[in-house]
Structure 1
Amino acid sequence: MRLALIEQLVMRLPTGVRSFLEIGPGMGDTSLYLSQCFPEADGTLLDFSDDCMDILRQRTANKSRLRLMTGDFMGMTREKHYDLIVACEVLEHIRDDKAALGIISELLSPGGYFIFSAPAFMRKWQHVDEYAGHYRRYERAELIEKFTASGLHIDTLWCFGFPITQLLYPLRELYYGMSRRRQHLSKEDATKRSGIERPLIGRTRAILLAHLLRPFYFLQNCVKHTDLGDGFLVLAQKGRPA
């Protein structure tokens, strides 16, 4: 559901993207898509999970322009800059998200773009948030304030997930409520797991599911400017120096 809207945001980007960084790429779906959209761009996929890296090595083996890096982006040097940075479902795992946004702004080239997604609305806090090691869900005004303070100007702010998240809510609450009682992981270990774990659907069924969800993409698109979903998707741009 998120990637269906990311495709629309990517269409708004200039064709001259030459470098991108994805922080917390999970199984690499977004970076693989970006490598198709910008075949001349060099992409860097950064994660601190060894299990994630094992999956990414397999999925990017024939993509010579995609580079894998293991580590925490909060400690990255600021020497290299990127035309585009992507962080989907990442900042809610970081205690000091204001510092994280500041680092992302420093890593962007002047005029560079940032695609971001995160769970929305603290009133929708669920067992899955505890299971995944989240610190927060975001509010619309909060995002605008934090992005602006970091020199990131929001161009697009959409809500995604409707109506699938509402339909699946009872099942997810039951599953993750039971799983939460069985797990004893730190937030860091839960974060490492969350990007690649797909307990409710196997990877082999993902393509079929994507086709089955097409009617819901249309419904989601109709209400993306409202607060009906349970996730935010943002396209922001780093302000150029005066």
Structure 2
Amino acid sequence: MSTASFTSGQPATRTDADLIAGNKRFYDALWADAHLCPPERFNTWPLVAELAARTTRRLEVAPGLRPRLPLTDTQFVDLSRPALAELRRHGARVANAMIGALPFQDASFDFVCAFDILEHVVDDEGALGELTRVAAPGASLLLSVPLHPEAWTAFDDFVGHYRRYEPETIRALLARHGFTIERSAVYGMQPKSSKLLDLGQWFLTHQRTRAMWWYNRVFMPLGMRFQKPLDFKPGFDPAPGVDEVLLVCRKAGT
């Protein structure tokens, strides 16, 4: 793991194997009882449609059953077999793999998407290195990450996060791998109420099946219904208190 990408104050005792196993348990259970949400229903769709129209060489890493890229002409990669089975059933092209070992040749894609992924892996340098390797020169990269280690909560730990990023840390990480941040927006659907988060975690811990049912059939649809349009700003200069950001990046080259 790169020490440059880790900030103190966050749990660092979990190994990569611990994170993989924990994430797989959590998301396999989540996706096993979920329906696929089409990408057109997310507030990312106007941006995605704009970028996707330029190429059919597209990759989305670990979408679960919430893909943001079009199902047609996009390669999807995920660790969760229930998610892959459902994506395949809807006609998507899928592969069972991890972000740190993508089974594709160099420069295979012009549009790469990785929402809420880097914070889940120990070796974020290696993970971003793989995204860089498979991205062609000039490729677009959509990346979302949580910000500010001091904002760490039990929710981060519960859903399998390894870190939150300081803005300068994620900016430097991307720069080391040849990516420039062109624009950014406040992103994410995490509830602001700590009491609501505590209640949700209690149900997920003690009544997981019931909690997953409510999340997939009630809270997720409500959250999607009340999504706000993304407000993109040039570059990346997040205001204080921003919990998560979506970054639109460009790989160096022509």
Instruction: Identify whether the pair has TM-score above 0.5, normalized to the shorter chain.
Output: yes
In structure 2, the CA distance between the partners of 1:73 and 1:221, relative to structure 1 (3 Å rule), is closer
SS in 2 for 1:136: coil
- State the partner residue of 1:56: 87
Q: When the two structures are superposed, what TM-score results if normalisation uses the length of structure 2?
A: 0.69
Equivalent residue number for residue 134 of structure 1? 161
Count how many residue pairs are aligned between Structure 1 and Structure 2. 209
The answer to whether structure 1 residue 176 and structure 2 residue 176 are counterparts is no
- Residues 115 and 236 of structure 1 are in contact (CA less than 8 Å); yes or no, is this contact kept in structure 2? yes
Aligned-residue sequence identity (percent) comes to 23
Find the counterpart in structure 2 of residue 191 from structure 1: none
Unpaired stretches in structure 2, ≥5 consecutive residues: 1-38
Distance 1:5-1:146 versus aligned 2 partners, 3 A rule: farther
Equivalent position amino acid for 2:216 in 1: G
SS of structure 1 residue aligned to 2:245: strand
Q: Is the 8 A contact 2:78 2:95 kept in 1?
A: yes
1:30 paired with 2:44, answer: no
Alpha-carbon deviations, 1:144-191, whole Å to 9, x = none?
A: 1000000011111222248x732x4320133326746x69xxxxxxxx
Q: In 2, are the aligned partners of 1:120 and 1:231 still within 8 Å (CA)?
A: yes
**CA apart distance, 1:78:** 4.7
Q: 2:101 aligns with which of 59, 62, 75?
A: 75
* Structure with greater proportional helix content: 1
CA offset digits 1:75-130 (Å, max 9, x no partner):
22452510111111111111010111111111101110110112221111111111
Letter in 2 for 1:175: G
Partner of 1:234: helix, strand, or coil? strand
Q: Is the 8 A contact 1:78 1:106 kept in 2?
A: no
What do you get for the CA RMSD once the two structures are aligned? 3.3
User: CA 1:177 to 1:72, structure 2 compared with 1: closer, same or farther past 3 Å?
Assistant: same
Gaps of 5+ in 1: 184-196
Counterpart-to-counterpart distance in 1, 2:103 and 2:96 = 14
- Which residue pairs with 2:191 in the alignment? 165
What TM-score results when the alignment is normalised by the length of structure 1?
Answer: 0.73
Distance 1:53 1:144, change over 3 A: same
Residue of structure 2 equivalent to 1:20 = 58
**1:1-242 to 2 correspondences below 5 Å:** 4-10=42-48, 13=51, 15-31=53-69, 34-35=70-71, 42-58=73-89, 60=90, 63=91, 66-79=92-105, 81-161=108-188, 165-166=191-192, 168-176=193-201, 179=204, 200-203=214-217, 206-207=220-221, 209-211=223-225, 213-214=226-227, 217=228, 221=231, 226-240=239-253
Looking at structure 2, the residues matched to 154 and 11 of structure 1 have their Cα atoms a distance apart, in angstroms, of 19
Task: Please say if residues 157 and 233 of structure 1, whose CA atoms lie closer than 8 Å, have aligned partners that are also in contact.
Answer: yes
- SS of the residue 1:176 aligns to: helix
Identify if the C-alpha distance between structure 1 residues 143 and 9 changes in structure 2 by more than 3 Å, giving closer, same or farther.
farther
